[in-house]
């Protein structure tokens, strides 16, 4: 008899599950009815999981953030094998003599070789971009191809941090061409792919092209970017996430990590919000800081 009841319960449970989504949070406090309402009505979807309420979603997000911060510490920076000077030499942009004097000057002044080469008029920005492209094994963008404004739903904070800018963005073709100035930041490419679902392809551009294209960049309609600069405790993170999700009536969420940022995208019926939780500054970022224009960071007030 006991067996019969058990199998009956299992059957009912199964048909219930096939008709209704069950909250993805294992510790969900809501009653069975509350956490199993038809998923089309309420709740937030994150990948394959669905959460019955903002509270459950925020708690799950908190766990996701701590997993990301652990993964971030294990990341190894990638450096090209050939120095920029050797590439410039091999491409015939510099003579041995010119390279030697530029290297000596760079050691004397403590400035980067590339800066010295530009100051001495020994190299153009485009030659340096072409040399970086060789270093990294990616193409350099032809001048004629940058002239279109791009509607971007990618956080400007990330673009400025890694000196990268969208040159071409096709939502229908699911393809994004990103121009980098200093180095190709793989974590940016990966996170953009995870969040937007587009294939992100890198190429190299000059600092001038970067600035010009950043000016052409327009914010996609109904898109908001928020940067949380404070280091939050897990409880504060959950509270902040819950607040943002409520604000835009989020129905979907996705996560990615990009160097020392945790990037969360919340999508509601009418609005999309990207929230960046900032970690500690890394070496790369300090190097790129000269490229940071006046930030439009919003501080999260506790």
Instruction: For the CB of residue 36, give the shortest distance to Zn ion in the complex, in Å.
Output: 9
Instruction: For the CB of residue 57, give the shortest distance to Zn ion in the complex, in Å.
Output: 8
Decide whether 28 or 158 has the Cβ nearer to Zn ion: 28
Instruction: For the CB of residue 20, give the shortest distance to Zn ion in the complex, in Å.
Output: 12
227 DSSP β-pair partners: 276
- What DSSP assignment string belongs to 201-239? EEEE--HHHHHHHHHH-EEPTTEEEEEE-SPPPHHHHHH
222 DSSP β-pair partners: none
The stretch among 51-59, 106-114, 171-179, 252-260 that binds Zn ion (CB under 5 A) is 51-59
CA–CA gap between residue 25 and residue 58 (Å, rounded): 10
Q: Give the DSSP letter of residue 140.
A: B
Binding of Zn ion at residue 84 (CB under 5 A)?
A: no
Decide whether 28 or 152 has the Cβ nearer to Zn ion: 28
SS3 77: coil
Decide whether 23 or 226 has the Cβ nearer to Zn ion: 23
Find the binder of Zn ion among 44, 46, 52, 226 (CB under 5 A): 52
Which residue is it, tokens 């919340």? 266
Find the binder of Zn ion among 44, 46, 54, 56 (CB under 5 A): 56
Instruction: For the CB of residue 266, give the shortest distance to Zn ion in the complex, in Å.
Output: 17
Binding of Zn ion at residue 61 (CB under 5 A)?
A: no
CA–CA gap between residue 102 and residue 106 (Å, rounded): 6
Instruction: For the CB of residue 241, give the shortest distance to Zn ion in the complex, in Å.
Output: 14
* Residue span 165-194 as binding mask against Zn ion, x where in contact by CB under 5 A, dash where not: ------------------------------
Decide whether 28 or 228 has the Cβ nearer to Zn ion: 28
264, 239 in Cβ contact below 8 A? no
Size of interface with Zn ion, in residues (CB under 5 A): 7
**Pairing of β 175-180 and β 164-170:** antiparallel
Q: What contacts 24+ positions apart, CB below 8 Å, involve 6-13?
A: none
Instruction: For the CB of residue 24, give the shortest distance to Zn ion in the complex, in Å.
Output: 8
Binding of Zn ion at residue 35 (CB under 5 A)?
A: yes
Binding of Zn ion at residue 23 (CB under 5 A)?
A: yes
205 DSSP β-pair partners: none
Find the binder of Zn ion among 28, 250, 253, 276 (CB under 5 A): 28
* Residue span 235-274 as binding mask against Zn ion, x where in contact by CB under 5 A, dash where not: ----------------------------------------
Report the sign of the C-alpha dihedral through residues 131, 134, 136, 142, in that order: positive
CA–CA gap between residue 264 and residue 141 (Å, rounded): 30
Question: Could you tell me how far CA 20 lies from the centroid of its own chain?
Answer: 33
Interface residues toward Zn ion, by CB under 5 A = 23, 25, 28, 30, 35, 52, 56
């Amino acid at each position: 008899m006991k067996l019969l009841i058990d199998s009956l319960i299992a059957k009912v449970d199964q048909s219930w599950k096939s008709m209704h989504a069950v909250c993805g949070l294992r510790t969900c406090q809501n009653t069975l009815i509350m956490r199993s309402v038809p998923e089309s009505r309420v709740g937030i979807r994150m990948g394959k999981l669905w959460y019955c309420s903002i509270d459950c979603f925020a708690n799950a997000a908190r766990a996701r953030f701590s997993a990301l911060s652990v993964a971030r510490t294990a990341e190894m920076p990638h450096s090209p094998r050939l120095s920029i000077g050797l590439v410039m030499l091999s491409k015939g942009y510099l003579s041995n003599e010119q390279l030697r004097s530029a290297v000596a000057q760079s050691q004397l002044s403590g400035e980067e070789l590339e800066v010295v080469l530009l100051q001495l008029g020994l190299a153009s920005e485009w030659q340096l971009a072409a040399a970086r492209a060789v270093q990294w094994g990616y193409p350099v963008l032809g001048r004629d191809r940058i002239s279109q404004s791009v509607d971007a739903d990618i956080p400007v904070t990330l673009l400025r941090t890694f000196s990268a800018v969208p040159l071409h963005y096709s939502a229908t073709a699911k393809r994004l061409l990103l121009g980098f100035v200093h180095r190709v930041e793989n974590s940016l490419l990966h996170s953009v792919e995870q969040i937007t679902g587009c294939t992100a392809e890198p190429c190299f551009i000059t600092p001038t092209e970067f600035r010009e294209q950043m000016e052409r960049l327009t914010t996609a309609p109904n898109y908001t970017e928020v940067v949380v600069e404070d280091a939050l405790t897990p409880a504060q993170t959950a509270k902040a996430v819950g607040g943002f999700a409520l604000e835009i009536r989020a129905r979907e969420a996705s996560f990615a990590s990009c160097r020392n940022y945790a990037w969360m995208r919340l999508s509601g019926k009418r609005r999309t919000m990207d929230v960046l939780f900032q970690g500690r500054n890394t070496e790369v970022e300090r190097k790129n800081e000269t490229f940071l224009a006046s930030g439009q960071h919003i501080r999260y007030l506790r």
